[in-house]
Amino acid sequence: MRVTDEAITRIKGMIASGELGPGSRLPSQDDLAYEFGLSRSALREAVRSLTAMNILVSRQGDGTYVSSLRPPLLLQPLAAACDILPDEALVQLLDLRMALEPHAAALATARVTADDVEALSAIAEKGAPGASAADCLDADLAFRRRLLELSGSEPIATLVEAISPPALHARILAGGADADVRADVYHDHSRIVAALVDRDADAARAATAAHVARLHHRLRATLVRVDLPQ
């Protein structure tokens, strides 16, 4: 193991054990270098790497602190990377969404209120078949975000958002100008809302899985069209 990797592992270990909690000030690099038996240069590089991961945050003139360690913060680097992934990896991201989003919808059935359902239904209506392609896209993005919030699972919500950059979503729904595409999205949303009204976890899971599967199919079809010889 490289000395920098060892320093990263040791600092992460201090955080994982609770020795350093969110918001805690990191000991000086001299003290840590002495404690770990490593060079200051290795410590500096480790701190830079952990700062890039949003695990640590540097405050000018004050020192280095452990971040809040909240999922939205820690998963920001993943979200940035998803914008530049190759096509096959994008398809695999939808495989991951297939595992997460239906579960989130099932969780939401136990938590939703009448007001929640009304708000989600209003979002779905904004993407009704008569809406523009842009409104359809916006409605689908907003619907997903709200459904994930209602799951009550911040890690799931954050991870799905991280692997679902708006640019990818726009690419999947590039056929949004087609009335059939808009109708499919709207009907998917309506089925999910109906399952939430009934507090039917299995129906919510199935309806959401069908929606993500439709997106998966549409992305593959888009990639095939791109690969066709001109």
Tens digits of per-residue pLDDT, 2-38? 888 999 999 999 999 999 999 999 998 889 988 999 8
According to the model, what pLDDT value does residue 177 have?
Answer: 54
Of the three residues 69, 93, 111, the one that is the final residue of a domain is 69
Q: Are residues 82 and 172 in the same domain?
A: yes
Q: Are residues 127 and 193 in the same domain?
A: yes
Q: Are residues 190 and 78 in the same domain?
A: yes
Work out how many domains the chain is built from and give that number. 2
Q: Are residues 215 and 105 in the same domain?
A: yes
Q: Are residues 30 and 78 in the same domain?
A: no
Q: Are residues 88 and 63 in the same domain?
A: no
- The CA distance from 130 to 133, in Å, is 9
Q: Are residues 17 and 128 in the same domain?
A: no
According to the model, what pLDDT value does residue 174 have?
Answer: 66
Q: Are residues 137 and 172 in the same domain?
A: yes
For residue 200, the enclosing domain spans 74-227
Q: Are residues 154 and 214 in the same domain?
A: yes
CATH number, domain of 50, equals 1.10.10.10
The continuous run of DSSP H or E covering 4 comes out as helix 3-16
Q: Could you read off the pLDDT of 73-102 as tens digits, one per residue? A: 888 888 778 777 777 887 888 888 999 999
Q: Could you read off the pLDDT of 94-117 as tens digits, one per residue? A: 888 999 999 999 999 999 999 999
Across 145-160, b (16+ Cβ under 10 Å) vs e yields ebbbbbbebeebbbbb
Tokens of 124: 């779905």
Q: Are residues 114 and 216 in the same domain?
A: yes
Query: What is the DSSP annotation of 152-196?
Result: T-HHHHHHHHHT--HHHHHHHTGGGGSHHHHHHHHHHHHHHHHHH
* β-bridge partners, 66: 56
Tokens of 25: 């000030």
Q: How many angstroms separate the Cα of 17 from the Cα of each of 20, 25, 66, 73, 154? A: 8, 15, 13, 20, 22
**Residue 128 and residue 194 in contact, taking contact as beta carbons nearer than 8 Å:** no
Q: Are residues 86 and 189 in the same domain?
A: yes
Q: Could you read off the pLDDT of 190-202 as tens digits, one per residue? A: 999 999 999 999 9
Q: Are residues 59 and 146 in the same domain?
A: no
**The whole model's pTM is what?**
0.78
